[in-house]
Amino acid sequence: MGGQIDNFSILPFHKNLISISSHFRLQIGTLFGKLSVVLKTIFEAQATNTDGRSGHVKSEDGVLDFPISMPNSKGKPDPKSTNPEELFAAAYSTCYAGAVEAVAKNHNIDDLGDFNVTAIVAFNKEEEGFFLEVTLDTYLPT
């Protein structure tokens, strides 16, 4: 499987798709050859979407069970629904907060106080296609 790093920016999702299995080897083409990375899965979750952006999503354990609706310029047509960008923002902010906690622990900081991470996910369109843009705002009390 090949990939490309583009100055650490998020590439349009229609150009690259990476599927991660329990143990995998990802090869990224570089100017100097190939870089191989071996990862071990610690945890895995599963959710299934039916009928796309105007459908339904449900996690394997049933905890997540939401209607999905495509937002329009006035917001969501169904206020009780969610959309992929909200779900991605929730997941990414939580994962990033966990990474912040792990880094703090590695630096012998046991209590970060009342910290938070907000992920802002934008669904964008350009000439080449659609892409996601993510901004992570992290608040760490002083």
Higher pLDDT: 18 or 43? It is 43
Asked if 88 contacts 68 with a C-beta cutoff of 8 angstroms, the reply is no
**pLDDT tens, residue by residue, 38-74:** 778 888 899 999 999 889 999 999 999 999 998 877 7
pLDDT for res 118? 92
Asked if 89 contacts 97 with a C-beta cutoff of 8 angstroms, the reply is no
- What's phi and psi for 8, nearest 5 deg? 60, 20
pLDDT for res 34? 53
pTM for this entry: 0.67
Assess whether pLDDT exceeds 60 at residue 13. Answer: no
